[in-house]
Amino acid sequence: MRIDIISVVPDLLTSPFSHSILKRAKDKNLLSVNLIDLRDFGIGGYKQVDDYAFGGGAGMVLMPEPLVHCIESLKSKVQYDEIIYLSPEGITLNQKLANQLSLKENLLLICGHYKGIDQRVRDQFITMEISIGDYVLSGGELAAAVLVDSIGRLIPGVLNDETSALTDSFQDNLLAPPVYTRPADFRGLLVPDILLSGHEAKIEEWRYEQSLLRTKEKRPDLLKDLDAL
């Protein structure tokens, strides 16, 4: 999978993609993440990429010329399945959406800055808008990092145990059950006997029951979604 990211401050994204699971995905050539500095397409000697909004108001807006030139330059080389704008107005990222996007081959992500991007770019080029929650960030870079992480770990071969991602919270609209590791007795706090029994079927039954209980207590809205399926 190839993911290209357009940003005014691409250095913000260097660290998230240089460690842990995403680094492993890149090292295995299963995921390619390319950071594109929008200022390389900026206007004039100062490489201007933003300007004041028409009609007044606080905040700067990314101009259409640099952004369109950047998008068109990339599209001349790559056929994108989706061009995604990270925006608080977009659909909320969830596991189902991450699953769907992990099946794509080429994605282009656009990080807004301050007040966002010129509406004409959104109208003409954006195929999907995604939000990571009902709050506002200074730019789309952190949201892009979250999106890429949620997608990248689902690519077959990225995780050592390929069943791991399938048992994550939200994969079946349930939260994951509690997990324990050694020692079995920590300061008098014991691991449930069932997990030490070696009886695989009963362990899976216990885990499912715990998932239901945890979801009912913490996220009952997910059970409503499950009933609607």
Residues of the chain with CATH 1.10.1270.20: 169-228
pLDDT score for 114: 86
Give CA–CA dist 148/158, Å, rounded.
13
Residue carrying structure tokens 């239901």:
212
For the chain of 229 residues, list the mean pLDDT of each consecutive stretch of 10.
98 93 92 98 97 92 98 98 97 96 97 94 98 94 97 89 58 88 97 97 96 96 71
62 beta partners: 50, 117
CATH superfamily of the domain spanning 2-152: SPOUT methyltransferase, trefoil knot domain (3.40.1280.10)
Residues of the chain with CATH 3.40.1280.10: 2-152
pLDDT score for 229: 47
Q: Mark out the alpha helices in 40-198 (DSSP H runs).
A: 64-75, 95-101, 119-125, 141-152, 193-196
pLDDT score for 167: 56
95 beta partners: none
Q: Which fold has domain 169-228?
A: Trp Operon Repressor; Chain A (1.10.1270)
